Structures are given as structure tokens and as C-alpha cells.
Amino acid sequence: MQCKECTESVEMLTNEHLRACSGLTVHEYAIRHHLPLETLLAPGQINAGDDNIYPQVTGSPGEPARAALLGLRWAGLVRERGALAEVPGEVRRLDLLLWLEDRLQDYGFRFCQEYRYADATHRVVATNFLRTRTTNLGRAGKTPVAVEPLPDFIQALAVLMAHVAEYQAGYLFMPFARAADGRDAAARLRQEYGIDCVELDAADTSEGVLLRTETVADAQALLHLMEGPLGAMPGARERFTAPMPEATVSKELVFDAAHFITDHPAKCSNLHGGRYLLHVQVSGRIDPVTGCVVDYGYLKRAVNRLVVERFDHHTLNYAAPELAWRSSTEMICVHVWECLVDYLPGLSGLRLYETSQSWCDYRGPSLAEHQARGTSPLLDHFQRLERPPKTGDGGVAPQRRLRAVAAG
């Protein structure tokens, strides 16, 4: 076949040829020329398995390699599978994976692209990895930290950010695979750099933690701090800083719930139930690497955990104190907005259908406004409710008298 990059005639397309003639891999070539992999690959290249020989490395890894490996471990990207350990890559960030291959040489990592026939989709799909022998990574995590100095914190954090951080509405989100690592990182950012992060529950793992910069200013300070290390990694800094078009995405979720409207003059004061349909809208810049404003999976997990799991098959008036008095669509929207905005600062609209003929559209405060003002007074009237106690004999309030008896 003829290589479309160099027009040379080749027996088969391989990464060796393509990387020499164009710097591309077969996977990127297939996308660039919009051709299915099965038309490019020779039969022997598909389902071939990994026939690379990974050498046993000797000697201690250098500081750049140690920091990069620590960042990948924090991000949960080092997967040990028996004799081999691997770091997955995405086709849109192969530059970054190849940069890491170079950075991680001391651990013996090598780039590997595999092509498999996927039965479910009836096509050949490619996956990209760095692989090495598990034994090359040492007994990481088990070695007492005092034996060697900790790897460079900023370099390690930059590697985590380049791979798994998300940028939404000016806030940075950083998932850590282990909560303890995330807490340590947050403490160091606060103590050493004055950058505050809040800790959110990780969306998909109970062991992890999701850090979010507390404010937009904290995110700016973090990006400024990381300017050098992120700038050294291909595509890493542009992900957060390059101007990009904006878009709005929506997710529709349903929950079945009962409610009643206290004091309602008509039949809505009766307990009744139905299927609620919730549309959650998020707006923002399209991430140049993921191609998304926000991952639909993240959006769905966040709304499921923060809203649907609490409300589905419940009586709304009892499921949330904020709705005990009024569980109207409007009140539900104000409350749902407050539940979601910490996780979705790009939240730009909610639509809640109580029936197909009745719905509410709502747009609430930004995360910064919500942080400044707290819960809407609309929702916490009964939480704030305090009446001066009735004065009884001798002007001593019943509560105070009780306390006096207990003390005496």
C-alpha cells in the first residue's frame, strides 16, 4: 500500500514507518485520513498481543521520573496487571504519552499501540499504553517514605493535572485515586502556596477524593504556579488556557416521587406521586483535548448521587428539610441548584417537569454568589425560625428555667 504521508510504497503500515516519516502513529494516521483501521492493518497486526520485550532496569530512577510516576499514581493511572504495569493513553493526547515515555525511561516504560477486533462493535479498535515490568516500579507505596526524599510536589501535581484535571467555569477539579493523597496535596497547596481547595466526594470511586479550587482566583493562582511544568508537557497548558468556543450541554434524568403542597387550597394538598423529569444544563468552554464542556458521565453521576438517589421513591417533603413546607417544582429547582453547583459551577439552567404539561425553568446564582450568600432564604425559613420564648412566672423563660433546674 501507499503511505499517504510520504507517498512511499510500504508492505504494511507500522508505527516504525509512520513515526519515522511523519511522527504519527497508525491510530492517528487512521483518524487523520478518516479510514477504518481494518483497511489499514495487515491481518497479523490485529489481535497480535504485545510481543515487546520489556527490559529489567537497574539503578535508581532520577528525580523527573519519580515525580512523573507519583503524579500518575495519584491520578490512578498506573495499573499493575500481573507481570506488566501500564499507563493508558488517549489518541488525542499521544504527544503527552510519548513525552511521558521519555520522562519515564528510568522505569523502563515503552509505548505500545494494540489493535483488537471488538466483537460488540464489529470493528478494529486501537488502544495506547506505556508498559513496563511491574518489578521495575519497585515496591512503590510500600517503601517507607523516609528512605528517600519525596519526589517534587509541583512536578507530580502538574502530571496529575495534565492527565485528569478538569476546568469548568474557571474552577479546577483534580481527582485523586486515594483520598489521603488528595488531602495531603490540598494541605500543601494551602500551607505552602496559599491556594485553597475544597474536598468533594469523588464521583466514581469511594476510595478517592475530588479536589476543587475554592474560588476562581485559587484556580488562577494554581495555573500560574503550574505555568512552567504544564508548559513543558505537550498540550497540557493549552487545555486550560487556549481560547475555545463555548457550548451548552443538557442531561435528562428521571425520578419517581410523592409530595404534597402544604396549605394548598386545592387537591395538591393531598399526597400524590408521579414521575419527575429533570433537565440539567451546563455551559462553558469546550475542552480542546476531551472535546467536551463537561463529561456526560460525570454530569449523570453527580446528578444521580446528589439528587436522584435522594429523591427517587421518596416523599419529597420528608426527603429534604428544604422541601418540608413546599415541594413545588420551583422550590425543588432552587434546592437542586444548590446541591449541584459545587460540582457543576458551569450550571446554567434547570428544567423540571412535574407532568408533561407543567414544568419550571430556573437559573440560580453562580457558585461564587452561592458561596457568598449561602442557602436561599426561600429554603431555610423553618431552619432559621426562632421565636422569643414565652415568658412564664417571674419573667423567666421556660427554656432558661429548665437549664436552671438542671444546673441546680
Distance of closest approach, residue 24 Cβ to Zn ion, in angstroms: 9
Please tell me whether residue 259 adopts helix, strand or coil conformation: strand
| Residues pairing with 47 in the sheet | none
Q: How far is the CB of 280 from Zn ion (least distance, A)?
A: 47
Closest distance of CB 33 from Zn ion, Å: 11
User: Percentage helix, strand, coil, to 5, in the chain?
Assistant: 40, 25, 35
For residue 5, state whether it binds Zn ion (rule: CB under 5 A): yes
Cell numbers at 219, concatenated: 484556580
Segment near Zn ion (CB under 5 A); pick from 19-27, 181-189, 293-301, 316-324 = 19-27
CA separation for the pair 372, 245 (Å, rounded): 29
Smallest distance, Zn ion to C-beta of residue 19, A: 10
- C-alpha to C-alpha distance for 284 and 17, rounded to whole angstroms: 40
Contact string (CB under 5 A) for Zn ion, positions 265-284, x = contact: --------------------
Q: By CB under 5 A, is residue 3 in contact with Zn ion?
A: yes
Pull the grid cell for residue 101. 515515555
The H-assigned helical ranges of 110-178 are 153-164
Tell whether residue 6 is a contact of Zn ion (CB under 5 A): yes
Q: Which stretch binds Zn ion (CB under 5 A): 1-9, 30-38, 250-258, 335-343?
A: 1-9
- In the beta sheet, which residues pair with residue 358? 355
C-alpha distances in angstroms, 361 versus 186, 272, 322, 364?
A: 37, 22, 19, 10
Determine the 3-state secondary structure of 392 from DSSP: coil
149 vs 224: CA distance, rounded Å: 26
Supply the minimum distance, in Å, between the C-beta of residue 283 and Zn ion.
42
Cell of 307: 439528587
List residues bridging with 348 in a β-sheet.
Answer: none
**Per rule CB under 5 A, is residue 42 in the interface with Zn ion?**
no
Pick the closer one to Zn ion by CB: 21 or 91: 21
Piece in contact with Zn ion (CB under 5 A), picked from 13-21, 76-84, 179-187, 203-211: 13-21
Rg for the chain, CA atoms, rounded: 28
Task: Quote the cell numbers at residue 262.
Answer: 402544604
Instruction: Output the smallest distance, CB 13 to Zn ion, in A.
Output: 8
Q: How far is the CB of 41 from Zn ion (least distance, A)?
A: 15
Q: Take residue 137 and report the three cell numbers written for it.
A: 516500579
Which CB, 33 or 381, lies closer to Zn ion? 33
Residue with smaller CB distance to Zn ion, 34 or 81: 34
Whole-number minimum distance, CB 15 to Zn ion, in Å? 11
x/- map, 194-233, Zn ion, by CB under 5 A: ----------------------------------------
14 touching Zn ion, by CB under 5 A: no
Cα distance between residue 117 and residue 235, in whole Å: 30
Residue 299 CA to residue 281 CA, distance in Å, equals 9
- Which residue, 37 or 278, is less far from Zn ion as judged by CB? 37
By C-alpha distance, which of 94, 87, 93, 89 is closest to 25? 94
> Which of 14, 21, 232, 305 touches Zn ion by CB under 5 A?
21
CB of 31 to Zn ion, least distance (A): 16
Q: Which is nearer to Zn ion, 32 or 403 (CB)?
A: 32
15 lines the binding site for Zn ion (CB under 5 A): no
Residues that bind Zn ion (CB under 5 A): 3, 5-6, 21
